[in-house]
Amino acid sequence: MAAVIAKKLHGKNITVESAGIAPAPGPTTPEAVEVMKKIFGVDIGDHRPRHVLDFPLDEFDYIIAMDSAVFMSLTEMTRIPKEKLYGWDVPDPCGLGIEAYERAARQIELYLDQFLLNREIDKGLFRRK
């Protein structure tokens, strides 16, 4: 959901990818699909999870873990550039119902705005409409 939210709200200013430390083998959950359609007008039904180590991580400016457990796992992976790693506190909504997905989406949106503002405010590169 984080990548979709970032692309939808800031797609002209940033490039993002989505990955996990233990991606599910199947499609995105129905709840995630419903929330992304309802809140952001984006259909993610075709999205398939990928592993974080499938990417050239040294080419990214930032690697953001959605929660502390994922953050700790990433710190233990030797291919993760630690100086690029940041952690947020977004509880995993899987199995907790549609409301949990909605809360997670809104938290991601808030964290993303703050994250971008903290990094770009001095450069004047980021302005949320």
Tell me the pLDDT tens digit for each residue of 41-59: 888 877 788 888 888 888 8
Q: What is the pLDDT, as a whole number, of residue 125? A: 46
Examine residue 64 and state whether it is found in any structural domain, yes or no.
yes
Q: What is the pLDDT, as a whole number, of residue 49? A: 80
Examine residue 18 and state whether it is found in any structural domain, yes or no.
yes
Beta-carbon neighbour count of residue 71 at 10 Å? Answer: 18
Examine residue 116 and state whether it is found in any structural domain, yes or no.
yes
Examine residue 63 and state whether it is found in any structural domain, yes or no.
yes
Examine residue 42 and state whether it is found in any structural domain, yes or no.
yes
**Has residue 15 got a pLDDT over 90?**
no
Number of domains making up the chain:
1
Question: Are residues 36 and 4 in contact, defined by beta-carbon separation less than 8 angstroms?
Answer: yes
User: Which residue in this structure is represented by tokens 């984080």?
Assistant: 2
Bridge partners of 85?
A: 63
Query: In this structure, what CATH number is given to the domain that contains residue 45?
Result: 3.40.50.2300
Range of 95's domain?
Answer: 2-120
Q: In the numeric block, which tokens belong to residue 22?
A: 């233990």
Which amino acid, residue 127? R
Locate the DSSP E strands across the chain.
63-65, 85-87
Instruction: Give tens-digit pLDDT for 81-118.
Output: 888 899 999 988 888 989 998 999 999 999 988 888 87
